[in-house]
Each structure stands twice: as structure tokens, then as C-alpha cells.
Amino acid sequence: MDVHEKIRVEDLSVRFGGRPALRHVTLPVPARQVLAVIGPSGCGKSTLLRCLNRLVELVPDAEVRGRVLLDGEDVYACGADPIAVRRRIGMVFQQPNPFPTSIYENVAYGLRVQGVRARSELDGRVEASLRAAGLWEEVKSRLHESALRLSGGQQQRLCIARSLATGPEVLLLDEPTAALDPASAARIEDLVWSLRERYTIVIVTHNMQQAARVSDYTAFLLMGELVEYGPTGSLFTNPRDQRTEDYVTGRFG
Ligand SMILES: Nc1ncnc2c1ncn2[C@@H]1O[C@H](COP(=O)(O)OP(=O)(O)OP(=O)(O)O)[C@@H](O)[C@H]1O
């Protein structure tokens, strides 16, 4: 691959309580591109995503083997700080989960944790993050209202703004539109496409049309194994593996 590998997953295996969830997965995550991870329920998509920012180790009986290289350095190396990794790799979940505070405070929170105190800097970075998430015009006159009054789609864009505020390099999106109506989902898809100019993005989706629309590369997982990885266009139109063809043509899953 001629594009820079922002992340490289190498021989990654995960077990929960001894039961395998991922088996020897190796794949690159190209910089400033969108990688879609697809596959039937339970195939390990979320587990793979949660390995990238070490969220998986919060599960008490999880066992992770293999390497995840972020700009060439193993995030699981002895001495690597999971908090520092999560600062570089932001994550957005299926259910929008804004804090029960104002729109402004949702975005400012991570900045305050990082020690930003000056009001003008906070204001500037909150605005820039909301603009990047495509939400500024809708909320600029109500920044101090509760985030919980926003629609589901707006809440999800707020969660994206909250992730962007602290300056991550990679964004992980775990089925970010699954809980949204089609119009809100389409706005998130447009956003994902535009964010790839600045961020490396990995999106887990059940929706193959969505994967085909928003991603540059696609990884297809089945029962914890990586069956196929490639440029999205060729994986969907000319899959190398029969199982990929069966899945993308809707024969199972
Ligand atoms: N916290 C956990 N404890 C035990 N087993 C788990 C845990 N999380 C996931 N698993 C198991 O690991 C396997 C992979 O799950 P994972 O959630 O990664 O799949 P998925 O492809 O994201 O599924 P879905 O599309 O339904 O969200 C499944 O067998 C699941 O039951």
C-alpha cells in the first residue's frame, strides 16, 4: 500500500473468558482514509475497534495477544499509557451519549481536562469543533441549553464534536448511525466523508450500502477471522473470497 499506515494491526487475537472473539487478525489502517469493518453480528467488529484504543482491556476477563502499532509504536507495549492512546484515538458509540450538561460544556469538557482555562481559547475551540462536526449553525444561538434537548442525530454530531475537540488523530465510530433516522444518518455519512481529509477513520457498520458509500477500504470479518480486506470498490464488486461474495450479496448475515 502506498499510503501511510496510521495503524497496523498485527496477529491480533482476543479471548473473553477463554472464548475466542478475534483470531490472528492482521490489517493496515491507512492514514486519512475511511476503513469500514463489516460482518455479521458477533463476528468481532466492535472488539476489533475496541482493541485499537485499548478499551477492550476494561472487560475484566479479556485477553489480548498481538500488536496494534500506532505510527509504528505498539499501543500495548509495556509502559504505553492507555489514556495517552485514547487521547490520540477518539471514539463514538452507537447510542449518542452526550453528558447531561450544556452543548458548550459537552465540547469544552475534554479541553478543561487538558488544562485549557482561557475563555477565548475555549470559545474558539468549541466553535471549531462544532463547525467540524457540522453542528455549529444549528446550535450557535443555544450553546448553553441542555445537550439532551437536541435530536438524536444532533446529539451524535455533538458526540463527534466532543471527540474532535481534544485533537485526536484517529476517530473510531461504532455503528454511529444505527440508532438514527435515515436523514440524520445521511448527514453523519456526509460528515464522515469530509472528516477524512484530517482524520483517520474506522467505522463499524452493519449496513453494507453505508460501508460502500463512506469508506475507502473495507475489512470483512467472519467468526473472529479477517476473511478479506481491500479497496471498498473491489471488495464489493469483485470479492476474492466466496464468503465475502455471499455476505455482500446478502446471502447471509
Ligand atoms: N464483554 C464481553 N464479554 C464476553 N464476551 C464478549 C464481550 N464482548 C463481546 N463478546 C463476545 O465476543 C464476540 C464478538 O463480539 P463483538 O461485539 O465484537 O461482535 P460484533 O461483530 O461487533 O457484533 P454486533 O454486530 O452484534 O455488535 C461475540 O461472541 C461476543 O459475544
pLDDT tens-digit map of 200-239:
999 999 999 999 999 999 999 999 999 999 999 999 999 9
User: pLDDT tens for residues 50-107?
Assistant: 999 999 999 999 999 999 999 999 999 989 999 999 999 999 999 999 999 999 999 9
CA of 63 relative to ligand 1 center, distance in Å: 14
CA of 42 relative to ligand 1 center, distance in Å: 5
* Residue to probe by mutation, ligand 1, list 43, 52, 173, most atoms within 8 Å of CB: 43
Question: Which residue has the least CA distance to atom 17 on ligand 1?
Answer: 46
Q: Which band of pLDDT confidence, cut at 50, 70 and 90, is reported for residue 161?
A: very high
Return the residue matching grid coordinates 463527534: 160
Q: What is the pLDDT of residue 189?
A: 96
CA of 128 relative to ligand 1 center, distance in Å: 35
Task: Single out the residue of 156, 188, 215, 208 nearest to residue 29, CA to CA.
Answer: 215
CA of 215 relative to ligand 1 center, distance in Å: 23
Domain ranges across the chain: 5-248
Grid coordinates of 62: 479479556
Grid coordinates of 251: 446471502
Report field, pTM of the whole predicted structure over 0.80? yes
Q: Which band of pLDDT confidence, cut at 50, 70 and 90, is reported for residue 192?
A: very high
Mean pLDDT across the stretch 116-129?
A: 97
Cβ atoms of 59 and 31 closer than 8 Å = no
* Residue to probe by mutation, ligand 1, list 16, 22, 177, most atoms within 8 Å of CB: 16
Mean pLDDT across the stretch 128-155?
A: 97
Cβ atoms of 51 and 9 closer than 8 Å = yes
Q: What percent of the chain has pLDDT over 90?
A: 96
Pocket-forming residues, ligand 1, beta carbon under 6 Å: 16, 21, 39, 41-47, 59, 206
User: pLDDT tens for residues 63-75?
Assistant: 999 999 999 999 9
CA of 47 relative to ligand 1 center, distance in Å: 6
Q: Which band of pLDDT confidence, cut at 50, 70 and 90, is reported for residue 110?
A: very high
Q: What is the pLDDT of residue 78?
A: 87
Using a 10 angstrom Cβ sphere, with 0-12 exposed, 13-18 middle and 19 or more buried, the burial of residue 232 is buried
Q: What is the pLDDT of residue 250?
A: 86
Q: Is ipTM strictly over 0.95? A: yes
Check pLDDT > 90 for residue 251: no
Q: What is the pLDDT of residue 2?
A: 57
Question: Which residue has the least CA distance to atom 5 on ligand 1?
Answer: 16
Q: 5-248 has which fold?
A: Rossmann fold (3.40.50)
Question: Which residue has the least CA distance to atom 9 on ligand 1?
Answer: 47
Cβ atoms of 137 and 98 closer than 8 Å = no
Check pLDDT > 80 for residue 246: yes
> What are the Cα distances from residue 114, in Å, to 87, 110, 147, 170, 190?
10, 6, 21, 18, 29
